[in-house]
Chain A
Amino acid sequence: MVGQSKIRRVLNAIGLYGAIFAYVAFALFPIYWTVKISVTPENLLYSEGIKLWPTHMTLKNYETVLRASDFPRYFLNSMIVSIATALIVTAVASLAGYALSRFRFQGKAWVSLVLLLTQTFPLVMVIPPIFRIMGQLGLTDNLYGLIVIYSAFNIAFATFLMQSFFDGVPKDLEEAAMIDGCTRIVALRRIVLPLTLPGMGATVAFVFTAAWSELLFALMLINSEDQKTFSVGLLTFIGKFAVDWGQMMAASVMALIPVCIFFAFLQRYLVTGLTAGAVKG
């Protein structure tokens, strides 16, 4: 019996790790393939057939992208737009989420409902009106327009996200602080905000990533070369007669870098459990 159960446990472990490995391989393969193509010399790309590992490696694609294309400009534009959007959305969503979590007010149910409704429209449907409105406001073909649009479209979800984080901070803590001598604002700043930092980190990461990889609005609103974000910029590698795969993949790999750095940096905020010990669990 004992031997059998041990075999079973080993088989279970093999099955479990096998499944995890398969999933990770599945998720990481496109990234690997992007990196592989970006370092493959152009002349081998079509001639050597499909090889799992690169036979020759070169950084020429990276060099070309950095030196001879507008990619650094696109990259900077994306950074500006994404960081600004993430900060604006997180600030607004934090305040709105706090209000929805803590206060009873007239029309609260409607506010939530309307926020939810904004999430149900297919983006394609709202493009024509948005294009006109942005044109009248003079917000086409510049980064401000993108920041406004991205903020508008991410605030609803971010608000719900932040509301759930505020819901996770017991009301008792604030009340204790208010009896201890805080006003509501001071209690928010000294007690609630430190405890919702992981939530804010998650929201910043989420919004940053969404803005960073957005293509549709950027494509529609931006025409000038110097205002393009990298997602639009990637399309410039697709020519009329040929696609420059090597350079496009090199640019894609570089576009991944800030997101990776960002998540590595935010990882410690993303771990839950900071509120452990506040109340009897």
Chain B
Amino acid sequence: MASVTLSNVSKVFGAVKVLSGIDLAIKDGEFIVLVGPSGCGKSTLLRIIAGLEEESGGDIRIGERRVNNVAPRDRDIAMVFQSYALYPHMDVARNMGFGLMLRKEAPEKIASRIGEASAKLGLGALLARLPKQLSGGQRQRVAMGRAIVRDPKVFLFDEPLSYLDAKLRAQMRTEIKALHQSLNTTAIYVTHDQIEAMTMANRIVVMNEGIVQQVGPPLDLYDRPTNLFVAGFIGSPTMNFMSGVVTLKDGSRVRLGDGSLIAIAAQGVKEGQAVTLGMRPEHLAMSENGIAGVILVVEPLGMCTQVAVKVRDELITLMVMDRAPIAPGDQVKLSIAARDVHVFDRASGQRIG
């Protein structure tokens, strides 16, 4: 187990800047998720930590050791690949024991470690099979097993669940989290799926265009996104955005394009400032007065109902917990509590207050 510290890490491919000025301090035993849209640099960052890609600048430390010029095999890490990358010509046991064998561990020790790991992952009956004889979920487990038998300082996961179907993905998510809780090894997990990030991470690192946007525990990011990108990326269904102008007569409010006024609690806004308001679907409610719109689609999910409302040209999503008698075409008004409105400066996209 070890901490991982990145200072001012950058990566340039030819003329393209893939990563710039990445600073990140990952604590021993922490489960960190790097999340962002494809091309944001999260996989490159993971590969730099693994030593599979060379950084263009900055320092990488695992524990106290600077590992910039250390080969992947000497970094004491284990990685689970998106493609699983199982050795096709070796059976499950040899796949899992390969790393230990290369480290010249005693055969009895290798066997016992494979035994422990396969028991933990429910692979006991499959040890003599070749990868091609396994299902997707089983291959995924073998890839995990190969990582845990090594007992490395750090686990690296590169979108390990993206090839699984939705049901299996949810199941493996829980398993990986439980595994981390029992092993307590530092883990860095890359995904583009914000639900994986929310459910698994101790802390999430949101990245976009090679820059870290925000780092924090999942609910902090959900409750106080630092900019429009994080606000739009974290949360499903996504946050609704509406533009308006601040007016400070009789308290802080924002006048929307249709003239309706929304009360805000954010401090530090200026009269006449152009802002973008962010509203989570579950915070919006149908009421007597507020923003007027027409219901376009009603999607019952059982536990709650997702409603798409057309407000002028924009589509606003809200979640209704009770089973209200509503139908497409109904005229509704939407309201929201002032403390639930996120306010962002329209020009810079940064959060205000």
Docked-complex contact A179 and B73, CB < 8 angstroms: yes
> Which of A55-63, A125-133, A169-177, A250-258 lies at the binding interface?
A169-177
Kindly state the separation between the CA atoms of A179 and B52 in the bound complex, as whole angstroms: 8
- Decide yes or no whether A280 CB sits under 8 A from chain B: yes
Task: Give the nearest-CB partner of A277 in chain B.
Answer: B132
Q: Which residues of B contact A84 (CB under 8 A)?
A: none
Docked-complex contact A178 and B136, CB < 8 angstroms: no
Q: Which residues of A contact B75 (CB under 8 A)?
A: 179
Docked-complex contact B87 and A274, CB < 8 angstroms: no
Q: Which residues of B contact A277 (CB under 8 A)?
A: 86, 88, 130-134, 139
A230 to chain B, nearest CB (A): 38
Q: Is the interface of B mostly helix, strand, loop or mixed?
A: loop
Kindly state the separation between the CA atoms of A177 and B146 in the bound complex, as whole angstroms: 11
> Which of B98-106, B111-119, B184-192, B225-233 lies at the binding interface?
B98-106
Q: Which residues of B contact A278 (CB under 8 A)?
A: 83, 85-88, 131
Per-position binary interface string of chain B over residues 53-94, scored 1 when its CB falls under 8 Å from any chain A CB and 0 otherwise: 000000000000000000111010111011111111100000
Task: Give the nearest-CB partner of B104 in chain A.
Answer: A181
- Decide yes or no whether A135 CB sits under 8 A from chain B: no
Docked-complex contact B88 and A178, CB < 8 angstroms: no
- Decide yes or no whether A114 CB sits under 8 A from chain B: no
Q: Which residues of B contact A194 (CB under 8 A)?
A: 89
Which positions 26-60 of chain B face chain A at CB distance < 8 Å?
50-52
Docked-complex contact B131 and A176, CB < 8 angstroms: no
Which positions 75-127 of chain A face chain B at CB distance < 8 Å?
none
Kindly state the separation between the CA atoms of A182 and B99 in the bound complex, as whole angstroms: 8
Kindly state the separation between the CA atoms of A89 and B300 in the bound complex, as whole angstroms: 67
A48 to chain B, nearest CB (A): 57
Docked-complex contact B83 and A280, CB < 8 angstroms: yes
On whether A178 and B139 interact (CB within 8 A), knowing A172-B81, A274-B88, A278-B86, the answer reads no
Q: Which residues of B contact A172 (CB under 8 A)?
A: 81-83, 85
Docked-complex contact A178 and B89, CB < 8 angstroms: no
Per-position binary interface string of chain A over residues 239-281, scored 1 when its CB falls under 8 Å from any chain B CB and 0 otherwise: 0000000000000000000000000000000000011111110
Docked-complex contact A179 and B72, CB < 8 angstroms: yes
Q: Which residues of B contact A176 (CB under 8 A)?
A: 79, 81, 85, 87, 146
Kindly state the separation between the CA atoms of A195 and B131 in the bound complex, as whole angstroms: 14
A227 to chain B, nearest CB (A): 43
Kindly state the separation between the CA atoms of A176 and B139 in the bound complex, as whole angstroms: 14
Kindly state the separation between the CA atoms of A181 and B83 in the bound complex, as whole angstroms: 19
Docked-complex contact A170 and B77, CB < 8 angstroms: no
Q: Which residues of B contact A210 (CB under 8 A)?
A: none
Docked-complex contact A178 and B72, CB < 8 angstroms: yes
Kindly state the separation between the CA atoms of A130 and B153 in the bound complex, as whole angstroms: 60
- Decide yes or no whether A64 CB sits under 8 A from chain B: no
- Decide yes or no whether A183 CB sits under 8 A from chain B: yes
Task: Give the nearest-CB partner of B53 in chain A.
Answer: A175
Choose from B88, B103, B130, B133 the contact partner of A195 (Cβ within 8 Å).
B88
Which of B72, B88, B150 has its CB near the most chain A CB atoms (within 10 A)? B88
Docked-complex contact A180 and B88, CB < 8 angstroms: no
A161 to chain B, nearest CB (A): 21
Q: Which residues of A contact B52 (CB under 8 A)?
A: 175, 178-179
Docked-complex contact B99 and A276, CB < 8 angstroms: no
- Decide yes or no whether A148 CB sits under 8 A from chain B: no
Kindly state the separation between the CA atoms of A194 and B90 in the bound complex, as whole angstroms: 10
Docked-complex contact A183 and B71, CB < 8 angstroms: yes
Choose from B50, B77, B84, B134 the contact partner of A279 (Cβ within 8 Å).
B84
- Decide yes or no whether A191 CB sits under 8 A from chain B: yes
Kindly state the separation between the CA atoms of A276 and B52 in the bound complex, as whole angstroms: 24
B74 to chain A, nearest CB (A): 9
Q: What residues of chain B have their CB less than 8 Å away from a CB belonging to chain A?
A: 50-52, 71-73, 75, 77-79, 81-89, 98-99, 102-103, 130-134, 136, 139, 146, 150, 163
Q: What residues of chain A have their CB less than 8 Å away from a CB belonging to chain B?
A: 170, 172-173, 175-183, 186, 191, 194-195, 274-280
